[in-house]
Amino acid sequence: MKLNIRFKLVDNLCKYLFLSLLPLFFANVYAQMPADGLMMSKGNLCNMLSYTNSSWESYWEGDTKRTNLNLGTVTTQNVMLMSAYGITDKLNVMLALPYIWTKSDSYFSGQKGFQDVSLWLKYKALEKETSVGTFSLFATGGVSTPVSKYVADFLPFSIGLRSRTASARLVLDFTSNPGFYLTAQAGYTHRSNITIDRDSYLYKGELFNTNKVFVPNMVDATVRVGFYHPKFQTDVWLDRFTALDGDDIRYNDMPFPSNLMQATTVGWFGKYNIKNFAVIGNVSKVMVGKNVGESTNFTLGVSYIVQVAEKKNNKESLQPEK
């Protein structure tokens, strides 16, 4: 089934750009891949520019929720440009780069700069039409690497961890004929060790006399339920991520890249479509966590779809395909 709606892809680009910035302590610094249920048609290009604001006052020190009056409110903001291109109807490539800046109510100066560039490939592995809708299965893989010399060992003010990543993901999508949809995705991310600007640190109570730091790998999963219309779209989503190893933040100490970070986030998404343009918005809240901030987040963005290469015998080549 082919959907005559380009705006649902815009939704997913925005949402997973935003979700990609959630899973690290205090700073929006991890890049996962988009995990939506649509594909760009061959020769079509979608560009999106988004702004995200994330702030918190309380955080979890291990399992203990607390505040730090010396920090006050910590705010992380980013502007991100992302593009998705249809190599074929079944194979898409995506590229994203965020510019991030951090601040707080304290005397500490935040960081700012370009973070990590991310590249993903997405393949539609299976599509099954039924009398009530269409089931689709997608496989995605991606990598990321830092593009600037930002300081990783300065959480919660770091704009990233300077860890190179490689990730793999499966996405299952069901879209009903009336327009309701359910998408579930799960992924695994490998993160490389990093080098910090000191020659010793504590990890799990043991002193390590080295500047090489272990960054835990992680898994994540997201479920979202929504409805689309030719002029608007809305959905709600639940996201969970957890590091696979790590230790807790020590009492009254700064967080560290090797901390075991976990978070459960709920959110709402809305979008309004204007021809090839779309205006998008997203709000979310971290409900439960471990070694992360209890952040409230919102995203605003705009996107535009353009046909770069001609597709033969396709009068709706601007439309993403199911």
N- to C-terminal Cα separation, the chain: 6
Q: What is the pLDDT of residues 113-166, one digit of tens each?
A: 999 999 999 999 999 999 999 999 999 999 999 999 999 999 999 999 999 999
Q: Is the pLDDT of residue 111 over 70?
A: yes
CA-to-CA dists, residue 121 to 32, 86, 99, angstroms: 12, 10, 22
pLDDT of residue 211: 96
pLDDT of residue 38: 67
DSSP 134-162: EEEEEEEEEEEEE-S---SSSTTS-S---
- Candidates 44, 134, 141, 143; CA nearest to 88 is 44
Could you identify the residue written with the tokens 């409805």? 227
CA-to-CA dists, residue 145 to 81, 105, 194, 295, 321, angstroms: 16, 30, 12, 25, 30
Please tell me the pTM assigned to this model: 0.87
Q: Is the pLDDT of residue 317 over 90?
A: no
Instruction: Report percent pLDDT > 70 for the chain.
Output: 84
Q: Which residues contact 239 (CB under 8 A, 6 or more apart)?
A: 19, 22, 220, 221, 222, 263, 264, 265, 266, 267
Lowest mean pLDDT among 7-11, 87-91, 198-202: 7-11
Q: Is the pLDDT of residue 25 over 50?
A: no
**Residue 313: what are its φ and ψ, rounded to 5°?**
60, 40
- In angstroms, rounded to a whole number, what is the distance separating the alpha carbons of residues 52 and 15? 11
pLDDT of residue 23: 41
Q: Is the pLDDT of residue 21 over 70?
A: no
Helix (H) or strand (E) holding 10: helix 7-19
> Domain segments of the chain: what residues?
7-307
Rg over alpha carbons for the chain, rounded to the nearest Å, is: 20
- Superfamily holding 7-307: monomeric porin ompg (2.40.160.40)
Tokens of 98: 């965020």
